Amino acid sequence: MDPLVKTALLQTVGFLIFTSVSPWLFVLVEYSEEDTLKTKYQLLRSLYQSVTSKCNITLEEFNNFSRVAHEALSEPERKWTYFAALEFVFQAITTIGKATYIES
């Protein structure tokens, strides 16, 4: 086999392995087992108790206010799935350039 073809195939296989395995690193690093729904509920309950002690507000009014405030202020939380991480890896490689391990 031609050494140039062999080098090109080896670099291509290395690139494919690198780009398919490295997204799992992002998923593992960014994964959180914290139950955000439970934490948010506790914060909302604490806020309700604080507001009702200072203002004359019903539970229904508070729920309406908090729903509107949540919709206005919240940003969607990005979940690090394999495909989102794969997209990030491809964007990083194409923006920064090829990985240094590929260079001979």
- pLDDT given at position 98: 57
Question: What's the CA gap between 66 and 37, in Å, rounded?
Answer: 15
| pLDDT range class, residue 5, cuts 50, 70, 90 | very high
User: In this predicted model, what pLDDT tens digit does every residue of 24-46 receive, in sequence order?
Assistant: 888 888 776 666 778 888 888 88
Specify the pTM: 0.42
> What is the number of other CB atoms lying within 10 angstroms of the CB of residue 80?
17
User: In this predicted model, what pLDDT tens digit does every residue of 47-101 receive, in sequence order?
Assistant: 888 888 888 888 888 888 888 888 778 776 667 788 888 888 888 888 865 555 5
| pLDDT range class, residue 9, cuts 50, 70, 90 | very high
Burial zone of 23 (CB within 10 Å; 0-12 exposed, 13-18 middle, 19+ buried): buried
Q: What is the CA radius of gyration of the chain?
A: 24
List all residues 6 or more positions away from 93 whose beta carbon is below 8 Å from its beta carbon.
19, 99
